[in-house]
Amino acid sequence: MEAEAADAAPGGVEAALSCFSFNQDCTSLAIGTKAGYKLFSLSSVEQLDQVHGNNEIPDVYIVERLFSSSLVVVVSHTKPRQMNVYHFKKGTEICNYSYSSTILSIKLNRQRLLVCLEESIYIHNIKDMKLLKTLLDIPANPTGLCALSINHSNSYLAYPGSQTTGEIVLYDGNSLKTVCTIAAHEGTLAAIAFNSSGSRLASASEKGTVIRVFSVPDGQKLYEFRRGMKRYVTISSLVFSMDSQFLCASSNTETVHIFKLEHLTDSRPEEPSTWSGYMGKVFMAATNYLPAQVSDMMNQDRAFATGRLNFSGQKNICTLSTIQKLPRLLVASSDGHLYIYNLDPQDGGECVLIKTHSLLGSGTTDENKENDLRPALPQSYAATAARPSASAASTVPGYSEDGGALRGEVIPEHEFATGPVCLDDENEFPPIILCRGSQKGKTKQS
């Protein structure tokens, strides 16, 4: 299917679109602009429904939504040291906090909310917004690079542990203790991301040629993927599919890479007794005697699939999601568009662009359009893309503003919060009167 024509040239809208982020389960997209912010539902390929828009807050450069709830966190260039938390359906401010320097990034799950400054990280309890811990004197982190597991029971935090190497500090956001330090790369970090259960951590360095995946919490290397060899690139986003069987990476180039997280085993069928089969065995055996760097390069896995953009040099983020029961690659770009790709491994691993949506046009606004963010019986990305035989995941009534009762919503058991957060009842969450304050002198030193 051919994509829609772009509504505007990339150069004219890049300054207008200041930030964009997918929510934790990839069912919603948030964008920030000079005029405010917008939230979109990702339940359909053909139509991009705007579920909320706010033009009262100018120059938004951070906007994060908590799953499909009404809680949204916003930071504006007009007050870059202040975090504002809103209940957008009621049009009320839940709370605001001020910090000692510019807020660089914010991460949240159902248990914790993180505010990352250049030299400190603040950890809040999201149920009452109480400040639990301040990580002070961390290595200078000018981009605010950090990651938080979306699994509230495994609220692991990862952030750079060095200014000169790719060291990652793994921190337990529930027990408020450092877990371990991972020597992930020789060069400094560019991107880090947890999978949905918080059991794996992916990372890329500023070179952008190698992506590694580590087990959590022990920090052992599980996978190593080579994105490319010819040129260094800037990795702009890393994201696991919700079933943790695929990893997607986008950069400042025109190619988005998707890697499959599987190990080749020794139980493969015996190679045929041909000259090529014999030479293949010799080649693999020879890697044991080569220098470590050369051997590692030969054993690194390549991309399972790729997506092609018609431009390069633009900031973008990617995600893998199941929309209308089919696996999709989504790329939101600073050129002001959302690109949706279909993936069929039988097509040689090439993702096919099927739709392009403008993020800055006059979208349809309907706050009841999110009734089908998930299918009643969701299929995993891997089950749809690779079609393996796998048992269904254990599910329980899901998190949503109606508790899932109205539309039979289900989510994986590890994502279910005991006493789910309800933002539409009389007991406002978090309590509005308890959440205002400044973090200039009110800190707990790590």
What is the Cα–Cα distance from 177 to 238, expressed in whole angstroms?
25
Instruction: In whole angstroms, give the CA distance from residue 336 to residue 332.
Output: 8
Distance CA 121, CA 61 (A): 18
Identify the CA nearest to 439 among candidates 76, 118, 100, 129: 100
The closest alpha carbon to 157, from 135, 129, 139, 184, belongs to: 135
State CA 100 to chain mean position distance. 27
DSSP string computed for 211-272 = EEEEETTT--EEEEEE--SSS---EEEEEE-TTSSEEEEEESSSEEEEEE-----TTSPPPP
Provide DSSP, 48-102: -EEEEEE-SS-SEEEEEE-TTSSEEEEEETTEEEEEEEEETTTTEEEEEEE-SS-
Q: What integer pLDDT is reported at residue 303 of this predicted model?
A: 77
Q: What percent of the chain has pLDDT over 70?
A: 67
Per-residue pLDDT, 346: 53
Average pLDDT, the chain: 77
User: Is it the case that residue 235 has pLDDT exceeding 80?
Assistant: yes
**Model confidence over 217-226: pLDDT tens digits?**
999 999 999 8
* Highest averaged pLDDT of the listed ranges 91-105, 293-307, 361-375, 413-427: 91-105
Measured from the Cβ of residue 130, the count of other Cβ atoms closer than 10 Å reads: 13
Tell whether the model's pLDDT for residue 286 goes beyond 80: no
pLDDT of residue 375: 38
**pLDDT per residue as tens digits for the range 139-156:** 999 999 999 999 988 999
Res 215: pLDDT: 97
pLDDT for 197 equals 95
pLDDT band at 350 (very low <50, low <70, confident <90, very high): confident
Interval 226-237 mean pLDDT: 76
**CB contact at 8 A, 99 and 124:** no
The neighbour count for residue 288, using CB atoms within 10 Å, is 7
Q: How confident is the model at residue 438 (pLDDT cuts 50, 70, 90)?
A: low
Q: Where is pLDDT greater, at 343 or 348?
A: 343
Could you state, in order of their start, the residue ranges of all structural domains in the chain? Answer: 17-263+275-358
Query: Measuring CA to CA, how many Å separate 291 from each of 209, 285, 297?
Result: 19, 13, 10
Give the lowest-confidence range in 18-32, 115-129, 187-201, 360-374: 360-374
Q: Retrieve residue 325's tokens.
A: 């029961």
CA angle 78, 82, 86 (to 5 degrees): 100
> Mean pLDDT over residues 48-60, rounded?
95
Report the C-alpha gap between 247 and 261 in whole angstroms: 7
The model's confidence at residue 368, banded by pLDDT at 50, 70 and 90, is: very low
Residue whose structure tokens are 């200039």: 440
Q: Per-residue pLDDT tens for 141-199? A: 999 999 999 998 899 999 999 999 999 999 999 999 999 999 999 999 999 999 999 99
| Mean pLDDT to the nearest integer, 91-112 | 95
pLDDT at 420: 39
Per-residue pLDDT for 15 more than 60? no
pLDDT at residue 304, rounded to an integer: 85
pLDDT at residue 92 tops 70: yes
pLDDT band of residue 374 (cuts 50, 70, 90) is: very low
Which range, 87-91, 232-236, 265-269, 387-391, has the best average confidence (pLDDT)?
A: 87-91
Nearest alpha-carbon partner for 150 in 428, 444, 414: 414
User: What pLDDT is recorded for position 416?
Assistant: 37
Annotate 69-107 with b (16+ C-beta within 10 A) or e (fewer): bbbbbbbbeeeebebbbbbbbeeeebbbbebeeebbbbb
Residue with the bigger pLDDT between 374 and 37: it is 37
Instruction: Name the residue type at position 396.
Output: V
Q: Select the CATH number that applies to the domain covering 17-263+275-358 from these four: 3.90.950.20, 3.40.50.300, 2.130.10.10, 3.30.565.10.
A: 2.130.10.10
Is residue 395 pLDDT above 80, yes or no?
Answer: no
The pLDDT of residue 383: 38
